[in-house]
Structure formats: C-alpha cells, structure tokens
Chains A and B, each alone.
Chain A
C-alpha cells in the first residue's frame, strides 16, 4: 500500500511539474503584455523600467526559474493590472466562489438524489420520463444560456431577484459571506441554481442508474419477502447501497464545479475567482493566469490522488495492478 501511494505521489509531482512548464511557456509565449499594460505614449525609459520590474527582459527559462522559486516560497507574483500580490487577490475572491459552489452542490444533491430515486423506482411512469428529460436539458443546454434565461425571467421580467453582483456581505465565523442575510441569499439564488443544473442532471442520472440496478437485486426481493414496506426497502436497504458512488461523485464534482463557476460568475457578474480568471485572460494579466492554472492543476491532481488511494483501499485489485 505504501509503495502504491509513493508511486502515485511521484506521478503527481511529475504531472504538476510538467503542467507548470506547459502552462508557463504557453502563457508567456502569447502576445506582449507590455503593449497592453503600458500606455503607447509612455517614454522609452518608463517602458524599460516596467519591463525590468516585471522581469520581462529575462530569457524564458530564467523567468520560469524565478517563478518556481517564488511559488515554493508561497509568492505567486503580483498582478500586472491590480498591482497587488496574486495570492491575496485570489484568496480575496475565493470565499465568493466557494459560497456559490456549496449552495449549488447542495441544491444539486438535495433535489437531484430524490428525483433520481423516484425516476429509478418507477422508471416507466410519466413523471420519471419528465425527470429524465429535465436531466438531459440540464446536461446539454449551455450553462451561460440558462443563466441568461434566468436573468431575463426572474430579474428583468418578474423583478423578483437581482440580476447580478453579490449583494450584502457580512462577517460570519471568520468568513465573509452573503448567506447570513435575506438580501445576500437573493443574490446567491439565481447563480447557484444556474450552476447546480448541470450537476443536478448528473445526480439524477447517477442515482437513477444505481436505483434501477439495485431494485433488481436479490436483497430487495428478500427484504420485500420479509414484509418490509416499500419505504423501508428503498430508504433502509437500497439507498444505503447506492450511496457510495453518489458520495464519490459528489466529491469529484466539487472540483469541476469550481471550474464551471467561471461561466456562471461571468453571466451573473459574481465577484469570484472565475470572473477573475476570465478578466485576467482578457487583459493578459499573466501572473494571475499562471497562478490560477497552477493552483487548478494541483487541485485536480490532489483530487485524483485521493480518489486513487481511496479506491486502492477499497479494491485490492487496483492496488495489485499498481504494484506489478
């Protein structure tokens, strides 16, 4: 087991290293941020001073070396647009994104799992087919378009909810969150629904698939033969058996929801990390782009590592294959 973990750990380190090089070279090879950042009317000496300050005159490998040394010390550079350290910039935006992601994941699970249970319990009923149609919609229709429809419907036409921004933010347990006030919730609701629809489709499909398979299993027959009510069969036996894959996917999807937030945050003008990365791409703010990407890569590599180890723990076959 330890050999397996070490091997996977080595692989992860290699991947992070390779990705950081690719991302760095790629990002630093596009365009010339000097032209974007510096007023064309600026004198040559101001230009030279700024180029030297950002280290843009150094060869690429040197810039990368400086970058890695700094990252190792927790310094991800300064944003060229906001002129503040990237780390504090990203961390100042992170609470807004996390808040959105958690509300969205909660909605997706709280609605998706029961709907999936029903659709799997009565797969041929009309309501189940309607639920499945809904999940196809959530799956396939682009997030940004649903977001726009939500704005048009609930913000512009009905005027029930605000169309964007974060609203009132208050301090709560050390976090700055908008979930403590009704006004804050009114701002969170639409973007969270928007972000949750894709995951909800996924949850519905996953739960339903598990349900359909479980309902044909022998233990369900025996539970019924025992005289248990349908309620006890579904919630006491079936749900317990199908909850492992649901929990796994929930964990895996947390990461990808963070990434999907990029789209939702742009539509709803939500001041989170996703909006920050889009803005930094459009403004060629390279330190922010590189740091965000490296952080995302590390996040996904970590998630993969944890999943691998958990699976290896649960299933000895995976472990043995890795040790071959």
Chain B
C-alpha cells in the first residue's frame, strides 16, 4: 500500500511538471480555479441575490457599470433591464453553467464508460449494435441532438442535463471502446479473466484504470462543450428562462439591447462564458499533450 501510495504521488508530480511546461495552461488552470471559487461562493461574494425579486428595483434599471444604485453600493458591471446587478447575475449564472457542465460531463462519462466497456468486453452482436448507434450519434452535431431533446423534454436544469448527456455520452463511449479493445487483448486482462474474479471486478479494477487517460482528456473538452451548449440553447430560447439565469440566458437577454449603447448587458456574461470555455479547453489541450505525446506534436 505504501509503495502504491508513493508511486501514485510520484506519477502525479511527474504529470504536474509535464503539465507546467506550458505557462498558458497553468494560467488557464488558475483562471478556472478562481472562476470555480467565485461561482460556488457567489452567495457570499455577489452583492445581491439576483433570484430574489424583492431586491430588484425598476429605478435601478440600465445603470451603466460603476454607478451607485438604490442599494447604496457600486454596480461594477452595471444593471440590466429590471435593475438586476450584472456582477451578481454573472456570478450566479456562472454557477448554473458550472453545475450543468460538470454534472452533464460526469453523467455522460459514466454512461459512455458503461456502453463502451460493455461493447468492448462482450463483443459480438451486442458490440456491433451499440457501436453502430454511437457512430450514428457521433455523425450528428451535438447541438442538433441537444436542441431536439430539449424541444422534446421541455426546459429546466434537469432536462438540459439529460439532453446534454444523451448528446455527449457517445464521445466517451467511442473513446472507451477504442481504448478497451486494445487493452482487452493484452496479457494482464487474459490473466485476470482466467482467475475466478467476477466480471465486474475485471472490468472496473483491471480494465477501467488503463483506459482512463484518454477519457480524462475527452472529459475536460466535453465539460467545456456542455457549458457552451447549454449557453447556446438558452440563447436560442429553448434552455433556461431568465428567472433562472445561466450565462446563456443573460446573453440572450442582453442581445435585445445590442443596437443600443447598453452593451454591458451582453458583453460581461459573454466574456465570462468565453473565458471559462477557452480556459477549460486550453487545460484540456495541455493534458492531451502530456498524456499522449504523439498527438501533441
């Protein structure tokens, strides 16, 4: 156990020193951590609870950034058309986006692993059918899948997460299947299968850890994609309503004022979204380079 512990720690520190080769990726990681902290501490950091209608005052509507409103504090990012403090709205929106992105990513990962491992391990007709469905789904753009599903399921956080999972699990399933088919032919799996170990133990303790590295890369990219997709759906009007502001619905609301000089309504939530998504992708890119040096070339 102690030996395993040290090698694990060693591997982690090796990974980190490889990762830190790219200064851009380190900065991106720091940005993500700060955004995560701000988003999940929004109840304490934000000057106002944008969900609470009692806080909103029509007199505060459309205050430009830096104005002091009726609450007696500075609206750093201005206020929107109903007098909502934009900084608070962005922070709460960021939290919604992170919650949706992370839970969709985690669930899609689980579902994808289940499908991919099942297909690779049992093979035969089951494998053919499962992977055919996965391939077909992969050939369809995720935005279209998600759009259709949300149109069918209705809007709300739960429905959006479900739609994203259905639209995204295929990426994980394909990656798991690919990696697992290669691993399955190796001797250690043969050895494990020849012992009386139950199938699930071979799958989860022997096979799964060895297919994890490519999945981690896919997971980072897919969390960013989920956040972007949710924002897109909300922007198109089929995602979350403005009473439950995500970054997408905030931008959508600001879009109505794009021809006026009240651009802060859309610019700030938009930049928050862009920075989040790009930072996650930059980290994912570097993780890919570290875990698979051939692709990084």
Chain A positions near chain B (C-beta within 8 angstroms)? 11, 15, 23, 26-27, 29-30, 123, 136-137, 139-145, 148-149, 151-152, 156, 163, 212, 252, 255-256, 259-260, 262-263, 266-267, 277-278, 281-282, 289, 293, 296, 300-301, 303-304
Among B132, B144, B274, the residue within 8 A (CB) of A296 is: B144
Q: Mark B61-96, 1 if CB is under 8 A from A, else 0.
A: 000000000000000000000000000000000000
Q: Is the CB–CB distance between A136 and B144 below 8 Å?
A: no
Does the CB pair A142–B141 fall under 8 Å?
Answer: no
User: Is A149 within 8 A of B141, CB to CB?
Assistant: no
A24 to B154, CA, bound (A): 16
**Which residue from A140, A145, A152, A260 sits with its C-beta under 8 Å from B224?**
A140
* B residues adjacent to A (C-beta < 8 A): 132, 135-136, 139-141, 143-144, 147-148, 151-154, 224, 228, 231-232, 235-238, 251, 255, 258-259, 263, 266-267, 270, 273-274, 277-278, 280-282, 285, 297
29 A-B contacts, Cβ less than 8 Å apart? Answer: A15-B136, A27-B151, A29-B152, A30-B151, A137-B278, A140-B280, A142-B228, A142-B235, A142-B274, A143-B232, A144-B236, A144-B251, A148-B266, A151-B258, A152-B258, A152-B263, A156-B258, A163-B259, A212-B297, A255-B139, A266-B235, A278-B236, A278-B238, A281-B238, A282-B238, A300-B136, A300-B140, A303-B139, A304-B136
Question: Measured between C-beta atoms, what is the minimum distance from A296 to chain B in Å?
Answer: 7
Residues of chain A within 8 A of B259, CB atoms compared: 156, 163
Residue contact A301 to B136, C-beta cutoff 8 Å: yes
The answer to whether A262 and B147 have CB atoms under 8 Å apart is: yes
Contact across chains for B151 and A289 when beta carbons are under 8 A apart? yes
Q: Which secondary structure characterizes the binding site on chain B? A: helix
Residue of A nearest to B140 (CB): A300
Given the complex, which residues of A lie within 8 Å of B231, measured CB to CB? Answer: 142, 144-145
Q: What is the minimal beta-carbon distance from A119 to any residue of chain B, in angstroms?
A: 12
From A144, A282, A293, B148 is in contact (CB under 8 Å) with A293
Inside 8 A of A23's CB, which chain B residues have their CB? 148
Residues on A with C-beta less than 8 A from B267 are 152
Measured between C-beta atoms, what is the minimum distance from B26 to chain A in Å? 16
Q: A136 contacts which chain B residues (CB < 8 A)?
A: 278, 281-282, 285
Q: B136–A142 contact, CB under 8 A? A: no
Q: How far is the CB of B160 from chain A (nearest CB, A)?
A: 14
- Asked whether A144 and B136 contact (CB < 8 A) given A256-B141, A282-B238, the answer is no
Asked if residues A139 and B237 are in contact (CB atoms below 8 Å), the reply is: no
Which residues does chain B contribute within 8 Å of A30, judged by CB atoms?
151-154
Cα–Cα, bound, A11→B274 (Å): 41
| A156-B259, A259-B140, A296-B144 known; A139 vs B281 contact (CB < 8 Å) | yes
Residues of B within 8 Å of A144, CB to CB, are 231-232, 235-236, 251
Min CB distance B265 to A, Å, is 11
Given the interface pairs A30-B151, A140-B281, the reply to whether A145 lies near B136 with Cβ below 8 Å is no
Residue contact A140 to B277, C-beta cutoff 8 Å? yes
Q: A142-B273, A300-B136, A304-B136 are in contact. Are A260 and B258 (CB under 8 A)?
A: no
Q: A136-B278, A140-B280, A263-B143 are in contact. List 14 more A-B contacts (CB 8 A).
A: A26-B148, A140-B277, A141-B274, A144-B236, A145-B274, A152-B267, A156-B263, A212-B297, A262-B143, A266-B235, A267-B255, A282-B237, A296-B144, A300-B139
